[in-house]
């Protein structure tokens, strides 16, 4: 079983919509979860990370962890065409403070 699993999409939404991107993870002992954004033909950039459970908000972006269901989510409010990118979830796993496992990424298109 993969450490994180993610639907590759693509996901297409109209501008201004609320976007929900999701991943599941395999081990309830995982503590850190990250979301990266990758524009076409560019390297990924870290959007935000969460530790343990709960929500973390940064502007229009909210990351949420539900440990009971082993589910992590990224919400984008008031989505913009500039949000069109691939979003990757990731985790360093258990004691994996040297390396990270990434989901396959969900491709998002925000249509003006």
Which positions touch another protein (CB under 8 A)?
A: 8, 32, 34, 41-46, 49, 88, 90-92, 96-105
From the number of C-beta atoms within 10 Å of its C-beta (0-12, 13-18, 19+), residue 30 rates as buried
Prior bond of 10 cis (ω within 30°): yes
Closest approach of another protein to the CB of residue 112, in Å:
27
Closest by CA to 55, choosing from 39, 79, 77, 38, is 77
CB of 63 to another protein, least distance (A): 12
Tell me whether strands 101-102 and 85-91 are parallel, antiparallel or unpaired.
antiparallel
CB of 16 to another protein, least distance (A): 29
Nearer to another protein, 12 or 78 (CB): 12
Which residue, 38 or 73, is less far from another protein as judged by CB?
38
Residue nearer to another protein on the CB measure, 8 or 16: 8
- The nearer residue to another protein, 43 or 59, going by C-beta atoms, is 43
Which residue, among 31, 56, 64, 61, has the nearest Cα to 45 in the 3D structure?
61
Task: Find the shortest distance in angstroms from Cβ 30 to another protein.
Answer: 11
């Amino acid at each position: 079983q993969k450490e994180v699993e993610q639907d590759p999409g693509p996901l297409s939404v109209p501008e201004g919509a609320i976007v929900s991107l999701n991943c599941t993870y395999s081990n309830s002992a995982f503590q850190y979860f990250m979301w990266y954004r990758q524009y076409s033909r560019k390297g990924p950039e870290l959007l935000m990370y969460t530790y343990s459970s709960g929500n973390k908000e940064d502007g229009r972006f909210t990351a949420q962890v539900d440990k009971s269901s082993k589910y992590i989510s990224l919400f984008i409010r008031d989505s913009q065409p500039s949000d069109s990118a691939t979003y990757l979830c990731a985790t360093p796993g258990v004691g994996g403070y040297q390396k990270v496992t990434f989901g396959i990424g969900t491709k998002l298109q925000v249509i003006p």
